[in-house]
Each structure stands twice: as structure tokens, then as C-alpha cells.
Amino acid sequence: MKELKLEAAIKNIEAVTDFVNAELDQLNCSRKARTQISIAIDELFGNIARYAYTPDVGSAEVRFEVEEEPLSVIITFIDNGKPFNPLKRADPDTKASAEEREIGGLGIFWVKKAMDMVEYEYKDGQNILKIKKKLT
């Protein structure tokens, strides 16, 4: 397992993406999976940066793990911010018009659809959100 600890700030989304992409480079990851993972990082780390510590700033940790059969990656986002389970939010009504739809929620909805697994737990004062993506 590799890990990266950094300030939970929007400016660090690129650092998290670079960290994960460096690991994906070693796994012969498809462009499609890499793009989906990058969008998920943008959404999930962006949410931590925007909401976990508001109005303060705190730290976050990103862990990268590889599973062999089938070849998959697990990326875990950990913060000590306000408890928040994004998976409890109801999925948006994607059939409703933009005017009728509530604001927000599409990013998490997309992450749940694009990843093979999304799990959340609040444990020992930490938000722990895991995503898993099969690479084969």
C-alpha cells in the first residue's frame, strides 16, 4: 500500500491525481479506467477540500492498493473532518429536467456508477471512503 498525506485543499487535487497516475502507470491501466479514476478523485477529494473542515483547513490521506485477482485498485480517502456519508444521499432523478432537479449529487452518483465498489465508514473520528476499480 502506498499513501499520500496532504492538506485537504482544492489546489492538491492535481497532486492526488499525479500520485495515483504514477501507480497506474505500473499496472498498464486502460485510458478509460484511468479517466474514470481521475474524475472520481476530482469529485471525492474536491468534496473533502470544500466541505470536510469548512471554514477551517485540515489534512487528508489517500491510500493506493492493488488487488491481483481480478486486477483492481482500491483508493481510500481519509479525513478527520465533519462526519459525512455521501452514499446516504438519494440518487438524483436523472430523468427530471435540469430545472426540476435538485442541485448537487451528480458527482457522487457518477462515482457510484463508474466504480466497481464504493464504501463509506466513520471510524475513530475519521471519514473513510473507499473506491475500487477493476483494471481488466
| 24-76 residue pLDDT tens | 999 989 999 999 999 999 999 999 999 999 989 999 999 999 999 999 999 99
Looking at per-residue pLDDT, the higher value among 96 and 134 belongs to: 134
> Binning pLDDT at 50, 70 and 90, where does residue 96 land?
low
pLDDT in the model for residue 93: 53
pLDDT in the model for residue 28: 86
pTM: 0.90
Fold of 2-134: Heat Shock Protein 90 (3.30.565)
Give yes or no for residue 106 having a pLDDT over 90: no
Looking at per-residue pLDDT, the higher value among 96 and 16 belongs to: 16
pLDDT in the model for residue 87: 87
Written as one letter, the residue type at 14 is E
Give yes or no for residue 102 having a pLDDT over 90: no
Looking at per-residue pLDDT, the higher value among 98 and 113 belongs to: 113
